[in-house]
Structure 1
Amino acid sequence: MAFLDTLNDSLTKERGGRHGGKGHEFQRYWALCHLLQIDLQHDDYLILLEFIEDVAVLNSEVTPDQMTLFQLKKKEGSATKWTKTTLAKPPKDGKSILAKLHESKSIAKDETAAISFVSNAPVELKLETGDDSTAFSELSASQIDPKLLAELKTSVAAEIGCDVGEVDFANLKFIRSPLAMDDLESHTMGRVATYLADKFPDHSPRADILCKAVYSELKVKATSTEEAASFADLKRIRGISKTQFSAMVALTLSRKSDSDVIDGFLAGLTQENVPYVQRELIRRAARQFIVEKAGRGNALLSLLQNNVEKLLQQLPDNLVTSWDVANWLVDQISTQNTATDFSILDRNYMIAATLYWMSQ
């Protein structure tokens, strides 16, 4: 049977992560950054969430015949390290990290090019060269001291009940993530901005838009509990392909920057003969709105946007200019008898926000 025909959820040895991983921001932000790296290096790929391991990368979205696997674990505390004990000792309930890595590799041994253990914390293992392993951002099992490596293989073999010769760590890697654990979103957004600048130097796309869009998609894929009976199902339910990611990037490139949007609707107000003093009030309010819009969890602005978008579908026929439309919308929202009180927002601020959303 071809490898492609075996790619479905029957391969996955455990599925608890799809339920329990909803708070695993580290895994998702790391997957996002890795997706950027893959896109720069490869013309064809498919990244899968919660398939065999936390992240699986296939070498094609149509006819894959090889994959790499990544198990991700976060450790708290700046001085925390992964050691022989924490890697090889099984917990009270479950298997050790190394045993799980071995089992994941064994599921599709011939097609798994590499399997990696990724963490924010360094790995402290004796190396054959005598170098300090905690100084490495990436190291392979082949660099481990032969005697220690033999001990680790023996430990895994005893744990899972197999012959020690079956334990193959030849393509096992340990990767230390550079992501800032105290601000994963900002650090990742910086990575997205660098990616966009490298790949599209002649554009000024919105890194925040792409970052949030991809993260949201990864979250959906990682938490889906729907079973995949075929490769097509697997790609749809938990995959992001080169084609899909390229479409998301293209949409981002087509979006105007905040400054362009503001300049656009202010130019429109000039053509509509809105007085200069009024336009300047709107300009200042728009700048404040842009700053506050970028803030996290601004529930009031989200509700305001929802109201604007809903009322845009109910505009009366006698409104001609954007200034008339914006004022009508703000009047409607301000007089609505709802549980949400928008009176704390200045009118010019509300008009500026409304013009922004109208111009998107």
Structure 2
Amino acid sequence: MLLQWVPKQQSVTNVGSVRNSVQEIEDIESNDALHDFGGSHANKGHDFAAYWVIGRLIELELAKHPDYVFVCEYVQDVAEFDSQVNPQTVKLYQLKKKEDGYWTVSDLTGQTAKNKTSVADSPVRKLIRHVRAFTTVRATGALVSNSKFKVRLKGDDSSVEVVTVALNLLDDEHTAGLRTAVALEETSAERTVVADDVDLSLVELCRATLALDDLQTHMTGLMFNFLNQIATEHTGQASSLVETLYARIKERSRRTEKAPNWPQLLQRRGFSKKSFNDAVEGLKQIPDAALFRSRLLSKLAGSRNERWAARVTAKLSQCSIEKILGGTANRWHSDQAAIDALCEEADNKNHSDEELFVSLSNYLQISLPVLSEYEIYALAIYEMSQWNLRQTLV
């Protein structure tokens, strides 16, 4: 059953009063009619939302936003506020994964070819309702999905290849139906809402280019590029950073119990600019994997000629990038347990780096026949360095 919500309006007696933005955020948090917790979803739906937030964090950092804070499961799946101290704007995100096919108007609003009246509990109507609940904080909304939107636009233009489209750009029949339905829902004995005054430009449909079948790899690639711009020495830790952020965001998404105030809301379900920057800063406390590889390569190259060193250096650079971006789905992947066992045995027997290098190269040559001679050498150095690095973190 749809809970009735009547938006607060300023009457003649309270026009002069100014509602504090934080108070409004807290009021909306406590209002059952404005909660839209998704309940249980498939893992891919949860994963899509968490990885999308990580991508949005990267976007905001690259755009050098002075401050921001995400609050999970606030009204919609995620709310993005412009400040954790004095929030003045919010963007509500409804995150929808779709395995295949397009989103149609019927999926989004409940409108059909015969009936242009939108359904009250449809995804878009909920989003419009929640955006319009704010009167002090400036609110906008977006329905974000991995799939394309196949809806009619004004002038019969196609939306299929459009990445972002505001609702006011839908064809006239559908926008009129949406405005009329919203106006009827909000009209009461105390006030009348005119359909033409319903601003549909505040809500948009957005397509996110995230591949559902390999979200981790996709986001690791984005993080690699981000770290390459701000902390080149830590690009090798892109995957670890993504995993850390993913775990933190997922944990906050599970905290759906109501928060009594703004500080508690941030503590339970918030993830701020400072949280992200602290996670990036934490990488500096971890030894540089690239430095480990460089030192080992220099040591092994000492008894070999310069041509050998140059060829292995080139392959090592290629290996490290593809291993980071490709996860386990890359041609450099081998049995990690077997590699670790060889490294542990060499450590227990106090073998030299040269002895382990030869032993590991022989194993990799058999297990990965698709790799060239110098690729085998590069991978052996990469795996030895990774094992050495892990021992420093124990």
Q: Does 1:25 align with 2:8?
A: no
Whole-angstrom distance in 2 between the partners of 1:17 and 1:211 = 24
Q: Which amino acid aligns with 1:67?
A: V
Displacement after TM superposition at 1:214 (Å): 0.9
Q: Does 1:358 align with 2:391?
A: yes
Whole-angstrom distance in 2 between the partners of 1:214 and 1:11 = 29
Displacement after TM superposition at 1:189 (Å): 1.1
Q: Does 1:124 align with 2:150?
A: yes
Query: Is the Cα contact below 8 Å between 1:83 and 1:124 reproduced in 2?
Result: yes
Displacement after TM superposition at 1:257 (Å): 3.9
Displacement after TM superposition at 1:115 (Å): 0.7
1:2 maps to 20
* Aligned CA distance change for structure 1 residues 245 and 7 (closer, same or farther; 3 Å): same
Unaligned runs of 5+ in 1: 270-286, 306-322, 329-349
Q: Which amino acid aligns with 2:71?
A: L
Q: Number of residue pairs matched?
A: 305
Q: Which amino acid aligns with 1:212?
A: E
Q: Does 1:135 align with 2:161?
A: yes
Query: Is the Cα contact below 8 Å between 2:94 and 2:143 reproduced in 1?
Result: yes
* Aligned CA distance change for structure 1 residues 209 and 142 (closer, same or farther; 3 Å): same
Task: Say which is worse superposed, 138-147 or 176-185, in terms of deviation.
Answer: 138-147
Displacement after TM superposition at 1:235 (Å): 0.9
Whole-angstrom distance in 1 between the partners of 2:39 and 2:389 = 38
2:104 maps to 83
CA-based RMSD of the aligned residues comes to: 4.2
1:65 maps to 88
Summarize the alignment of residues 130-279 of structure 1 with structure 2, pairs less than 5 Å apart: 130-156=156-182, 163=193, 165=195, 167-200=198-231, 204=235, 206-261=237-292
Query: Is the Cα contact below 8 Å between 1:122 and 1:134 reproduced in 2?
Result: yes
Displacement after TM superposition at 1:258 (Å): 3.2
Deviations 1:115-161 (A, max 9, x none): 11111122222222432111100111232223331023234556788
Query: Is the Cα contact below 8 Å between 1:125 and 1:133 reproduced in 2?
Result: yes
Whole-angstrom distance in 2 between the partners of 1:47 and 1:178 = 20
TM-score by length of 2: 0.64
* Aligned CA distance change for structure 1 residues 235 and 106 (closer, same or farther; 3 Å): same
SS at the partner of 2:154? coil
* Aligned CA distance change for structure 1 residues 137 and 65 (closer, same or farther; 3 Å): same
Higher RCO (C-alpha under 8 Å, 6+ residues apart)? 1
1:45 maps to 68
1:101 maps to 127
Select the residue among 50, 53, 58 that pairs with 1:36. 58
Query: Is the Cα contact below 8 Å between 1:138 and 1:173 reproduced in 2?
Result: yes
* Aligned CA distance change for structure 1 residues 353 and 214 (closer, same or farther; 3 Å): closer
TM-score by length of 1: 0.70
Whole-angstrom distance in 1 between the partners of 2:36 and 2:348 = 52
Deviations 1:189-225 (A, max 9, x none): 1111122223345764521121111111111111123
Query: Is the Cα contact below 8 Å between 2:287 and 2:389 reproduced in 1?
Result: no
Whole-angstrom distance in 2 between the partners of 1:114 and 1:15 = 16
* Aligned CA distance change for structure 1 residues 232 and 265 (closer, same or farther; 3 Å): farther
Q: Which amino acid aligns with 1:143?
A: L
